[in-house]
């Protein structure tokens, strides 16, 4: 880390802080992260790449099937790929 670069906040990579479930049942990035944090992209990527991100990917797959965007076999295949990770 460069001396001029700001220190990462304690919430860096914490999915529950940077991409929590909203009351509407969808995940949303809080305004503080979205507009004020210089680490927002790297932080969210870090959170989604870890084991915390697997349930989020599963949520996306489930919503895609419910919306008719993917079928049963596509859902099954994607979930199997996630399980391997």
Per-residue pLDDT reduced to its tens digit, 47-76:
999 888 998 999 999 989 888 998 989 999
How many structural domains compose the chain?
Answer: 2
Q: Are residues 57 and 78 in the same domain?
A: yes
pTM over 0.75: no
Residue 26 has pLDDT above 60, yes or no: yes
- What pLDDT is stored for residue 82 in this prediction? 85
My answer on whether 44 and 3 are in the same domain is yes
**Per-residue pLDDT averaged across 13-38, rounded?**
92
Tokens representing 63 are: 């919503």
Backbone angles phi, psi at 38, to 5 degrees: -75, -10
- State the DSSP code for 16: H
Check residues 5 and 42 and name the one with the higher pLDDT: 42
| 39 and 5 inside one domain | yes
CA distance 82 to 57: 8
Cα of 31 vs its chain's centroid, Å: 16
| Same domain? 55 vs 44 | no
Whether the Cβ atoms of residue 47 and residue 15 lie closer than 8 Å to each other: yes
- Residue 60 structural domain: 51-85
- Mean confidence (pLDDT) of the chain: 89
Q: What distance in Å separates the CA atoms of residue 25 and residue 21, rounded to the nearest whole number?
A: 6
């Amino acid at each position: 880390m460069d001396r001029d670069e700001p220190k990462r906040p304690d919430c860096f990579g914490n999915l529950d802080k940077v991409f929590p479930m909203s009351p509407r049942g969808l995940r949303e990035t809080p305004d503080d992260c979205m507009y004020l944090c210089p680490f927002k992209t790297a932080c969210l990527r870090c959170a989604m790449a870890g084991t915390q991100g697997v349930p989020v990917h599963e949520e996306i797959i489930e919503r895609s099937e419910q919306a008719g965007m993917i079928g049963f076999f596509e859902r099954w295949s994607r979930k199997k790929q996630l399980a391997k990770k």
